[in-house]
A and B are shown apart, each in its own frame.
Chain A
Amino acid sequence: MLVLTRRRGEGVALGPDIRVVILDVKGGQVRLGIEASPSIEVHRDEVYARIQDENRVAACPRVVPVDAFHRLARRLVG
């Protein structure tokens, strides 16, 4: 892992199109500003990880309660 020390107002360039700026440092929290084109997805990593984890749990279900789905379908129709 590359480790850099930056002060408030300084930034880091990731390739030609992405810039991350330190906006504020206070009480153990760092505020980041991220400048990137709209085609770059930016997420808090825990949000991303949560969906990855849920996909792994959801993948390859062993049994599917078809009866329950039928009941749900009847309720939706009714």
Chain B
Amino acid sequence: MNIRSTRFGALDIADHMILTFPGGILGFPDWTRYVVLEHHTEAPFKWLQCLDEPDLAFVIMDPALFKPDYRLSVPPDALGEIQSSAPEDLGLVVILTIPSEDPSTITANLRGPLVISHRTRLGKQLVLPDDVPTRYPLFSALTPIHAEPNRRQWQPVASL
């Protein structure tokens, strides 16, 4: 399918690359279809672009890359919603919050991770207990950062 995105222009997305969040992402219940866009560099983050709303996109990252001790168990209702029970099918990412006034203070929402089944292509945002931070600082040391505007060099990928 061909879709239009505000950031990345026109994208041609194969059906097997589409991720569906049946319940939406919290706060955006009306939009359920997304695609992961990967950068052709070593930058360890990806985009989650909404296919139903061209302007909606999140920056996502594998939490194991910056918080190796991050552990959670996926509750049965979530496994039912994504129609998967095999741990090897599941991928886990967290959404990053990047303040435009100071991009160096990026935080990761560890309380609302996204669990995605690679087999069924279904995903769900979990809600973890309130002792898990919603704003976990990604960069421990504050170093000067030169922000780059978004570039249209992203490609859809089938896996996370």
Interface residues on B, range: 35 or more
Cα A38 to Cα B81 with chains together (Å): 11
Given that A70-B42, A70-B43, A72-B138 are known contacts, is A65 also in contact with B27, CB under 8 Å in the complex? Answer: no
Closest Cβ of chain A to B19, distance in Å, is: 16
* Interface residue A14 (Cβ < 8 Å from any Cβ of B): no
* Interface residue B77 (Cβ < 8 Å from any Cβ of A): yes
Residue of B nearest to A48 (CB): B127
Give the total number of A-B pairs whose CB atoms are below 8 A apart: 131
Flag if A61 contacts B42 (CB, 8 Å). Answer: no
Flag if A58 contacts B26 (CB, 8 Å). Answer: no
Given A47, A60, A76, which contacts B55 in the complex, CB threshold below 8 Å? A60
Cα A47 to Cα B112 with chains together (Å): 10
Residue of B nearest to A70 (CB): B43
Interface of A is mostly: helix
* Interface residue A68 (Cβ < 8 Å from any Cβ of B): yes
Interface residues on A, range: 35 or more
Residue of B nearest to A56 (CB): B27
Flag if A72 contacts B139 (CB, 8 Å). Answer: yes
Flag if A51 contacts B65 (CB, 8 Å). Answer: no
Flag if B127 contacts A65 (CB, 8 Å). Answer: no
Residue of A nearest to B6 (CB): A60
* Interface residue A4 (Cβ < 8 Å from any Cβ of B): no
* Interface residue B147 (Cβ < 8 Å from any Cβ of A): yes
Measured CB to CB, the residues of A under 8 A from B are 38-41, 43-44, 46-48, 50-74, 76-77
Measured CB to CB, the residues of B under 8 A from A are 6, 25-28, 41-45, 55-59, 65-66, 75-77, 80-81, 95-98, 100, 103-104, 106, 109, 111-112, 125, 127, 129-130, 134-135, 138-139, 143, 145-150
